[in-house]
Structure 1
Amino acid sequence: MTAPHVSLPGDPTHLLPPSDHGLSPLTGWTRVHWEALADRLLDGLLPYATPGFAQYRLPGPPSHSGPWSDGLEGFARSFLLAAFRIAGSGGRVGPALIERYATGLAAGTDPHHTERWPPITDRAQPMVEAASIAIALHESRPWLWDQLDEPVRGQVVEWLGHFVGADVNDSNWRLFQVITEEFLASVGAPHSRAEIDAGLARLDDWYRGGGWYTDGDGRKFDYYNAWALHLYPVLWARIAGPRADPDTVARHRTRLREFLGVHQHFFGSDGAPVHQGRSLTYRFATAAPLWAGALADATPLPPGRTRRLASGTLKHFAERGVPDERGLLSLGWYRPFLPVSQRYSGPASPYWASKAFLGLLLPEAHPVWTATEEPGPVDTADTTLALPAPGWLLHSTAADGIVRLVNHGSNRLPPPPATAEDSPHYARFAYSSATAPETPAGPDNHLALLAADGTPSPRGRIHPLGADGRRAASRHGGIETVSVVHGPWEVRVHRLDGPPDSPVREGGWAIADDSTPAESRTGPGRAWARRADGLTSALVGLYGWGGAEGTVVHVVGANAVGEHSATPCLELAAAVPVLVTLVVLSADPQVSITGAGATVAGDGTVEIRFPDGTRERVSPPESL
């Protein structure tokens, strides 16, 4: 019996091909599913194209760069997707797709056209979009660039050429200059080899080992490591060809290989990536480095696992209404949710998700498309993984397929002495593949001293103290925290050096759902909330919380995962020197939150007992 076609949620007119559980036993998705979803995304943009196809003016609030730049963004980021689709099929797509991007290139780069693009100027958004256009032109060269009239090629070169000598933000933006100028070099246009080399050298400055870059100076660890800092060197090498320095290419490939050995652990069994960092509206762009590793022969992953992880995350969002009924990617996670966006985010910004379709450049006969899917790490065993460079600790559980990230090292603050407000996507103690932080900031995964008016202290700058084995530690303000993980459990040991009369509050995981508020229970020194599907968040005071009463904070409209969210909390009337807390997030009905305990010896050594009887010791000062 032939498997039925399946419609996209909320859009019964667009059918996905039947699932193939022979080739893809875990997701059912194959290359034809990727092609179908790419086509749906490209078709969904058509009603919002300007007459000359140079801009896509999508509905939604404009970015701080304004609608003119946002329209260019719509062209550039969707052109990236179109180029992967065109090149991946050897040009065997409807001619209208190629023609509309050729038409848009001619109109957008014509300085006298009503749809002309904003110029590339110092530190301006068109720099970002120029790199996408350069990549798309290179990858689709036989079907687009080589077919453009000479005057149009001249216009494109003139527009891109304003990158040469321009002032660039000292972050992943340096790679936009590298990419754009390398494309100019590939077509014999003026460029600066010194600027290309300087951008690549700056990337080396940010490398912290273990496959990890920080995005610019500081400790800015997030998915930009995946969809920018590792991705663009691979794409640069494809454009540069024999012009690329072999040692530089080899160095990037070695780092990417090491990173992918870790990155594979960031996806839950349902395909959801861990929800941490900025620009999360790019969603399944988290799959881009998986394909990049296969393209560059720089991956430790079996081809069937590469596809399982990439298809899993694309399918995860497709099953939750992404794209929406119009075929559009909204500013949000599942539904529209503006708090996951930034000032630079415009209606077309989510189309950086096009990078996820990089795998279409691999031939249909490539093993990533023909090998049988293999399980991801979370599918088969519990894992604990310390990541010293970003100061993170991952622990995942096969029983519920959840990946949890304990954060003792990444924040969005510029280097000292600069200060900024906490970002809930960086300042929490933990993130996961099943939850999102309360945004704007709530009490979740945070320990705060409370001012007289109830205002919580920020976490502020995170000073990492190490990550090794099953534990990681950091200091912020007057608080030092050690996290020890075991299975689904985390125990946090807090040592407080602050006003003893200050009330203190700790929050656990925020769980969210669109349909109904979570069930909750509270008691002395404990609180828990449970979603209808069984996802449970619990907080238990193990030491120092005597007299604390548990509460559950219910909020509407503050969570990317769902409209209704709930966070278990403990609050103490006056701070004590040591607090020990059991923090639990699990969808396993067998998980226990009882039987845990902690004692503190006279020298400050903390003895921890997990609910299953496993014991750990935390000695002061913690040395990892």
Structure 2
Amino acid sequence: MKVLRRCRIAGLALVLCLPARMLPAQKKKTGTTVITGATDRAYWSNLLYKMASPVILNLANGTLKKNMPVEVPPGARPEGYEKVTHLEAVGRTMAGVAPWLALPDDSTIEGKQRHELRTALLKGIANAVDPSSPDYLNFRTEAQPIVDAAYMAQAFLRAPKALWEPLDTLTRRRIAEEFKALRTRTGAYNNWLLFAGINEVFLWTIGEQPDPVRIEFARRKIQEWYQGDGWYSDGPSLSIDYYNAYVIHPMLVDFFKVLAEKKRIKQEEYETVVKRMVRYAEFSERIIGPDGTYPPIGRSITYRTAAFQALGMVSLMEKLPAHIAPAQVRCALSAVMHRMYDQCNNFDTNGWLVLGFCGHQPMIADDYTSTGSLYMATLGFLALGLPADNKFWQDPATDWTSKKAWSNQPFKKDYHVTY
């Protein structure tokens, strides 16, 4: 797989293109550079660090609200967004980096990045729920915090030893109180049911009394909205977009995992939602074009690489179907990242994400989107939670399905499944 590394984004001390002496060794073959799994991983980790560090480091320093721009869709006023956008940035970033930060420290450049961000995030979480902090985040008003608390909850569920257990007793108690305060509001009759449900099961895992009605309503309705062949409708009607990846499959699997552990559902129910996510992940892998592009369809396309959260999560769980090699997912997702983040400037001069899909395109932002919303993009990096010696990173580069299909190679036919 040929990849041209480019340095086009300024504003942070650490950029994607490291000096050659700092990059993992590359194999050479007949004068052509072959990118290895190690160089792919270095690219991913540097990109995720670049994306997440403005949010995490500013939160740790109590300067998130001061320094984070609040870009909104054309014609919108920022006042209403300012009440919710900072929690959006924090919750979504936490959910994306959690598996990566859960890895143990080591002396590599990546290990030092993880240690820095983990240490800063623990400090930042304390600031986020401290009423005396300038970065005290809003859980108490508006409906939107239900959503972004849920991503924070998902982060704690994904990396409890890294992000929950090290917190001091006062911070834990404050987090529990903020989450319980969310019960004064409700949200939309769609994927929002999952947000309320996962907030409650998170409270359950930390010894608080959950609201069984919110849990049961989410459990029943999401299953009723399953349409077949790996697709859920987002509410009563089907939407062709990426919400099955942004929210539904990954959050439902994490939600049901807790319910199974608590004996609220049978293990078979959990295994069924996992199988459905695996099936959806097959579609996700197939839509990545030979050049790393994918269709900009549906709502919220400004969430960028979050469109591949389900594929990354299936890879992280090591549950890819036998016909999809881990290395082909690595190569496909690397191609997406290079296409999106090298060839389009998605960051401003201070390293914050800008409204758009591939570059600054504010006119395509939905009316609920602001700067903080964009950090959903970190959810596309879940496979970084696999250690560097995993076959996902170690196996040789492999063509993905569409690249095989468009280059006269054999590839597996696709058929409907019934679970």
Q: Report TM bin, short chain.
A: 0.7 to 0.9
Change (3 A) 1:262 1:224: same
Matched, 1:169 2:188: yes
Contact 1:76 1:129 in 2 (8 A): yes
Q: Does 1:60 align with 2:59?
A: no
Aligned residue for 2:268, secondary structure, equals helix
Q: Does 1:306 align with 2:329?
A: yes
- Distance 1:298-1:132 versus aligned 2 partners, 3 A rule: same
1:137-194 per-residue CA deviation (whole Å, 9 max, x = no partner) reads 2333223321222111100010012234742321111111222211111111121234
Q: Report 1:509-520 matches (<5 A).
A: none
Do the aligned partners of 2:150 and 2:196 also contact (CA within 8 Å) in 1? Answer: yes
Q: Would you tell me which structure has more helix in proportion to its own residues?
A: 2
DSSP-derived class of the 2:227 partner: strand
Q: Is the 8 A contact 1:213 1:221 kept in 2?
A: no
Asked if structure 1 preserves the Cα contact closer than 8 Å seen for 2:226 and 2:232, the reply is yes
Which of 231, 237, 240 in structure 2 is aligned with 1:218?
A: 237
Indicate yes or no: 2:154 matched with 1:131: no
Structure 1 residue 355 corresponds to structure 2 residue 355:
no
1:83 aligns with 2:83: no
SS in 2 for 1:208: strand
State the shift of 1:237 in Å: 4.4
> What's the CA shift string for 1:178-233, capped at 9, x where partnerless?
22211111111121234223212211121111111121122312111222111112
Residue from 343, 358, 361 that aligns with 1:320 = 343
CA distance in 2, matches of 1:249, 1:360: 24
| Structural mapping, 1:386-405, within 5 Å | 397-398=406-407
Partner Cα separation in structure 1 for residue 309 and residue 95 of structure 2: 12
The one-letter amino acid of 1:88's match is L
Which runs of structure 2 are paired with 1:427-576 in the superposition (5 Å)?
Answer: none
Matched, 1:188 2:203: no
Q: Quote the Cα distance in structure 1 between the aligned partners of 2:225 and 2:28.
A: 43
Letter in 2 for 1:126: P
Call closer, same or farther: CA 1:238–1:205 in 2, change over 3 Å: closer
Larger Rg: 1
| CA–CA distance in structure 2, aligned partners of residues 241 and 31 of structure 1 | 33
Q: Map 1:571-586; keep pairs closer than 5 Å.
A: none
Q: State the 1:344 CA deviation.
A: 0.8
The SS at the match of 2:247 is: helix
Alignment correspondent of 1:148: 167
Q: Is 2:210 aligned against 1:200?
A: no
In 2, Cα distance between the equivalents of 1:64 and 1:207? Answer: 37
Match of 1:107 among 116, 123, 127: 127
* Structure 1: distance between partners of 2:235 and 2:105: 37
Change in Cα spacing, 1:148 to 1:282, as seen in structure 2 (3 Å) is same
1:112: how far off? 4.7
CA displacement, residues 440-485 of structure 1 (integer Å, 9 cap, x when unaligned): xxxxxxxxxxxxxxxxxxxxxxxxxxxx99xxxxxxxxxxxxxxxx
- The whole-number CA distance in structure 2 between the counterparts of 1:129 and 1:209 is 28
TM-score (normalizing by structure 1)? 0.56
Amino acid corresponding to residue 156 of structure 2 in structure 1: L
The answer (yes or no) to whether the contact 2:5–2:342 under 8 Å persists in 1 is no
Q: Is the 8 A contact 2:293 2:336 kept in 1?
A: yes
Partner deviation per Cα, 1:31-83 (whole Å, 9 max, x = no partner): 22211111112334478658525656224236674213112222222223443
Question: How far has the Cα of 1:21 moved from its partner?
Answer: 6.1
Distance in 2, matches of 1:365 and 1:197, equals 40
Is the 8 Å Cα contact of residues 252 and 273 (structure 2) preserved in structure 1? yes
Deviation at 1:96, TM superposition (A): 4.2
The count of residues paired between Structure 1 and Structure 2 equals: 383
Instruction: Give the corresponding residue for 1:36.
Output: 46
SS in 1 for 2:162: coil
RMSD: 3.2
Decide whether the 8 Å contact of 1:63 with 1:347 is kept in 2. Answer: no
AA at the equivalent of 2:268: D
Q: Take 1:372 and 1:63, find their aligned partners in 2: how far apart are those partners?
A: 47
For residues 192 and 21 of structure 1, what CA distance do their matches in structure 2 show? 55
**Structure 1 match to 2:411:** none
Sequence identity (%): 23
Q: Which of 216, 237, 242 is residue 261 of structure 2 equivalent to? A: 242
- Alignment partner of 1:371 is 2:395: yes
CA contact 2:128–2:135 (8 Å) conserved in 1: yes
Task: After superposition, give the CA deviation of every residue in 1:540-567 in whole Å (9 maximum; x if it has no partner).
Answer: xxxxxxxxxxxxxxxxxxxxxxxxxxxx
1:220 is paired with a residue whose SS is coil
Which amino acid is the alignment partner of residue 249 of structure 2? Answer: H
State the Cα distance separating 1:20 from its structure 2 match: 4.4
Take 2:63 and 2:94, find their aligned partners in 1: how far apart are those partners?
Answer: 11
Matched AA of 1:52: G
Q: Which residue identity is paired with 1:42?
A: A
d(CA) in 2 for partners of 1:22, 1:366: 22
Contact kept, 8 Å, 1:308 with 1:373, in 2: the verdict is yes
Match of 2:353 in 1: 329
How far, CA to CA, are the matches of 1:361 and 1:235 in structure 2? 16
**What amino acid is aligned across from residue 78 of structure 1 in structure 2?**
T
Q: Is the 8 A contact 2:94 2:155 kept in 1?
A: yes
- The CA deviation at 1:255 is 1.1
SS of the counterpart of 2:83? helix
CA separation in 2, counterparts of 1:71 and 1:254? 34
Q: Secondary structure in 1 aligned to 2:135?
A: coil
For the Cα contact (< 8 Å) 1:8–1:318, is it kept in 2?
Answer: no
Q: 1:180 to 1:63 in 2, by over 3 A?
A: farther
Aligned to 1:10: 9
- Cα distance in 1 for partners of 2:78, 2:226 equals 30
Three-state SS of the structure 2 residue aligned to 1:68 is coil
CA contact (8 A) 2:309 2:382 kept: yes
Alignment match, 1:439: none
1:19, 1:63 → 2: CA distance? 47
Does the aligned pair in 2 maintain the 1:88–1:360 contact within 8 Å? Answer: no
Q: Which stretches in structure 1 are left out of the alignment for 5+ residues?
A: 382-396, 400-467, 470-624
Query: 1:21 & 1:228 partners in 2: Cα distance?
Result: 38
Q: Secondary structure at the match of 1:88?
A: coil
**Aligned residue in 1 for 2:305:** 284
Q: Is the 8 A contact 1:49 1:57 kept in 2?
A: no
In 1: Cα distance, 2:177 partner to 2:136 partner: 13
CA distance in 2, matches of 1:261, 1:143: 30
Change (3 A) 1:48 1:262: same
Q: Counterparts of 1:226 and 1:74 in 2: how far apart (Å)?
A: 18
Cα distance change of structure 1 residues 369 and 200 upon mapping to structure 2, 3 Å threshold:
farther
Q: With structure 2 as the length reference, what TM-score do the two structures score?
A: 0.81
